[in-house]
Structure 1
Amino acid sequence: MIVPEPPPAPTLYDWAGGHEALVELLTIFYGHVLEDPLLEPVFRDMDPHHAEHVAVWLGEVFGGPAGYSASHGGHAHMIGRHLGRGITERQRRRWVSLLLDAADEAGLPADPEFRAAFAGYLEWGSRLAVIFSAPGAEPNLHEPVPRWDWPVPPWQPSSP
Structure 2
Amino acid sequence: MRASLYEFAGGDPALLALAQAHHQRCLQDPELNHPFSHPGQHPEHVARLAAYWAQVLGGPSTYSDRCGTESGVLRMHAGNGDMSDLGRRFVACFVQAMDDADLPDDPAFRTAMREYMTWAVDRVLTHEDRDQVPPGLAVPQWDWDGPVTR
In structure 2, stretches of 5+ residues that fail to align are none
Cα deviation 1:11-66 (Å, max 9, x = unaligned): 11110001111111111111121121111112222223211101000000011001
CA distance 1:115–1:17, shift in 2 (3 Å) = same
Q: How many positions carry a matched residue from both structures?
A: 144
Aligned residue for 1:81, secondary structure, equals helix
Does the Cα contact within 8 Å between 1:11 and 1:62 map onto a contact in 2?
Answer: yes
Identity of aligned residues (%): 32
In structure 1, stretches of 5+ residues that fail to align are 1-7, 153-160
Does the Cα contact within 8 Å between 2:75 and 2:130 map onto a contact in 1?
Answer: no
1:35 paired residue among 9, 12, 28:
28
TM-score, normalised via structure 2 length: 0.88
Aligned residue for 1:47, secondary structure, equals coil
- Structure 1 distance, partners of 2:12, 2:5, is 11
- Partner residue of 2:3? 10
- Cα deviation, residue 96, structure 1: 0.2
- Structure 2 distance, partners of 1:87, 1:137, is 18
- Partner residue of 1:139? 133
- Structure 2 distance, partners of 1:137, 1:73, is 17
| RMSD (Å), alpha carbons | 1.7
Residue 148 in structure 1 maps to residue 148 in structure 2? no
- Cα deviation, residue 126, structure 1: 0.3
Amino acid across the alignment from 1:43: F
Aligned residue for 1:148, secondary structure, equals strand
CA distance 1:77–1:31, shift in 2 (3 Å) = same
Does the Cα contact within 8 Å between 1:116 and 1:151 map onto a contact in 2?
Answer: no
Structure with the higher fraction of residues in helix conformation: 2
Aligned residue for 2:15, secondary structure, equals helix
Q: Which has the larger radius of gyration?
A: 1
- Partner residue of 1:118? 113
- Structure 1 distance, partners of 2:129, 2:76, is 14
- Structure 2 distance, partners of 1:52, 1:89, is 25
- Partner residue of 1:26? 19
Moved over 3 A (4+): none
Aligned residue for 2:87, secondary structure, equals helix
